[in-house]
Amino acid sequence: MVARHFDLTRAGTQDMTKVLEAGGYTYAYEPAEGGDPRTLILLHGTGGDHTSFIGLGRLVAKGAALIALKGDVVERGNLRFFRRVGERVYDMDDLALRTHRLADAIPELISAHGRDPAAAIGLGYSSGADLLGNLICETPDRLAGAVLMHPIMPFEPPSTRALSGKPVLVTCGERDPVTGPAQVEAIAERLRTLGASVTARGADSGHEVREGELAAIRDWLAAFRTTTDAAA
């Protein structure tokens, strides 16, 4: 059986998804269905956008409210969420600035749609995962949990804040030439050192996303909902 490949740069949305502005971001929004308490804050990777990444949200959290942000840094025609000065060399001042900007925007984005911040989960891919990972380290109170897909994070987050059991899922491709299992496990271990409750999952893929990885994310998010419902 051939694993299905989900293209994070091309799988767009042509339906009634709303494209809105709040917190300084352009974003695509889909409301929750069936009383689902979860809200996913979605951050695409380099070359994606808000309309492409909302499709992934549908696949991994059917029924959840989706807020897919649009990066506003342009690098060689591709959208990103922060600047870099070379391959795997990030503009750390810009990363810090945009981390705080995202932290400030999240409460506004959540309250704009009457959502519960206690059930807000960040989900980022590649460079989007890097921004999200830095945010979790710097301002852990902004999100109830996070999914980091194929993070690179070629930097040491400066935070010494305790993550106090914050649930985090880290996923990667076993054959990923950009960020392999050893690097991703090192990132997971950094988060564990800060006190996060980290689950790491590998998939039979490269830097692309395939069904096995989507299934792992879907299961983790379903367990998150179960925990959230039990606490309500």
Q: Which residues of 21-49 are buried (b: 16+ CB within 10 A; e: fewer)?
A: ebbebebbbbebeeebbbbbbbbbbbbbb
Question: Please, which residues have CB within 8 angstroms of residue 118's CB and are 6 or more apart in sequence?
Answer: 144, 228, 231
Q: What is the distance between the alpha carbons of residues 173 and 70, in angstroms, rounded to a whole number?
A: 24
The secondary structure of residue 140, as a DSSP letter, is G
146: part of which helix (H) or strand (E)?
strand 145-149
Question: Please, which residues have CB within 8 angstroms of residue 60's CB and are 6 or more apart in sequence?
Answer: 40, 123, 214, 217, 218, 221
Question: Please, which residues have CB within 8 angstroms of residue 95's CB and are 6 or more apart in sequence?
Answer: 82, 83, 130, 131, 134, 155
Residue 122 and residue 147 in contact, taking contact as beta carbons nearer than 8 Å: yes
Give catalytic residue positions: 126, 176, 207
Q: What is the distance between the alpha carbons of residues 37 and 69, in angstroms, rounded to a whole number?
A: 19
Q: How many C-beta atoms lie closer than 10 Å to residue 107's C-beta?
A: 14
Q: What is the distance between the alpha carbons of residues 151 and 174, in angstroms, rounded to a whole number?
A: 13
